[in-house]
């Protein structure tokens, strides 16, 4: 089977899974009430959230630049921002496609080697996961009772068998051991595959050689603060949720982060179901919870589609200009 058909198959499976999850979330919704919520929305908050997303994209691009510097690449933040936006756009088609896509964009536009760039992206994702865990710990203080209730309910509803949890932990342990062994033996590897793997590992380990640690920490803080604000301010767009406090905003951030980390196309279904389920802990009815989740998710999709499309056009213009200059 060709790569084209394999990619098409993945897209269809991902879309079918998303559609099934959306059906499960929306099947019991009162549509009259749902559209009543739509008519009562103050969309100025939604527009503000979309505009704030630009800050998050630039902060992520700036942080990625800091990770690329130890690898010998000194790029403008505008160039990495284009790559980040196009990567997010690619994620709308297939989960995790964006990571490869944005590395490919840097390769075409700025001649950044894909293995090294991909390794730095993995490092970036690890930092994001650790930050999410840190925020969960903060929420244990801010909203401890509700968070524990939500996590225990989610685990019970999913009915995850213990052997699967143990297996995942075992696989993770084996991966860590394999990585340690590779780092000790990588000098003995030869050939093209070895060069690719070494480039990936150098990108993965770029964190320990960053030249601007303060900038890295500040950009990470800005990124997650903006993520929080993007979710939290939309609460005020609905009369039914405008009373929710900062604790609920933290829970939105954490729940949304977990939902979007699940490999389902752009979080369709998982995001809606988990956000609505979490809002039940704040006595927000199911229809309002699903509507708010839809409003949050749709605003993020619109931001990605709008800014990602603009970035794609600009990237094409850059490549065209580069080719024209090369032929002169």
CB of 250 closer than 8 Å to CB of 228: yes
**Domain-by-domain residue ranges, the chain?**
33-323
CA distance 258 to 293: 14
The pLDDT of residue 158 is: 45
CB of 109 closer than 8 Å to CB of 320: no
The pLDDT of residue 113 is: 87
Mean pLDDT of 167-194: 58
CA distance 260 to 255: 9
pTM of the shown model: 0.78
The pLDDT of residue 216 is: 92
CA distance 52 to 147: 27
CA distance 255 to 299: 17
pLDDT digits (tens, 9 = 90+) for 61-72: 999 999 988 888
Confidence of residue 203 (pLDDT cuts 50, 70, 90): low
Please report which residue ranges of 191-285 form alpha helices under DSSP H.
192-204, 213-232, 246-261, 270-279
Q: Which of 228, 244, 24, 47 is nearest to 135 (CA)?
A: 228
Q: What is the DSSP letter of 159?
A: T
> Looking at per-residue confidence, does 134 or 55 come out higher?
55
CA distance 15 to 73: 37
* pLDDT exceeds 50 at position 179: yes
């Amino acid at each position: 089977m060709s790569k084209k058909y394999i990619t098409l198959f993945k897209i269809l499976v991902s879309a079918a899974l998303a559609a099934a999850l959306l059906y499960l979330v929306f099947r019991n919704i009162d549509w009259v009430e749902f559209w009543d919520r739509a008519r009562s929305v103050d969309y100025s908050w939604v527009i503000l959230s979309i505009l704030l997303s630009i800050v998050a994209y630039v902060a992520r691009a700036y942080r990625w630049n800091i990770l690329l510097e130890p690898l010998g690449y000194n790029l403008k933040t505008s160039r990495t921002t284009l790559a980040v936006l196009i990567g997010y756009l690619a994620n709308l088609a297939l989960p995790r496609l964006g990571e490869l896509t944005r590395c490919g964009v840097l390769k075409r536009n700025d001649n950044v080697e894909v293995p090294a760039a991909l390794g730095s992206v993995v490092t970036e994702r690890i930092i994001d996961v650790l930050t999410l865990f840190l925020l969960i710990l903060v929420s244990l203080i801010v909203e401890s009772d509700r968070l524990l209730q939500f996590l225990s309910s989610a685990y019970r509803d999913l009915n995850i068998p213990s052997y699967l949890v143990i297996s995942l932990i075992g696989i993770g342990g084996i991966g860590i051991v394999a990585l340690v062994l590779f780092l000790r033996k990588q000098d003995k590897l030869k050939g093209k595959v070895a060069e690719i793997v070494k480039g990936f590992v150098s990108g993965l380990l770029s964190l320990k050689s960053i030249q601007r640690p303060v900038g890295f920490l500040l950009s990470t803080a800005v990124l997650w603060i903006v993520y929080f604000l993007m979710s939290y301010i939309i609460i005020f767009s609905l009369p039914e949720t405008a009373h929710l406090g900062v604790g609920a905003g933290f829970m939105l951030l954490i729940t949304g982060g977990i939902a979007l980390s699940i490999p389902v196309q752009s979080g369709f279904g998982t995001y809606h179901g988990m956000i609505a389920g979490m809002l039940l802990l704040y006595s927000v009815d199911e229809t309002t919870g699903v509507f708010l989740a839809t409003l949050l998710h749709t605003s993020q999709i619109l931001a990605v589609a709008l800014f990602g499309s603009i970035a794609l056009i600009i990237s094409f213009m850059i490549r065209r200009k580069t080719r024209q200059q090369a032929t002169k």
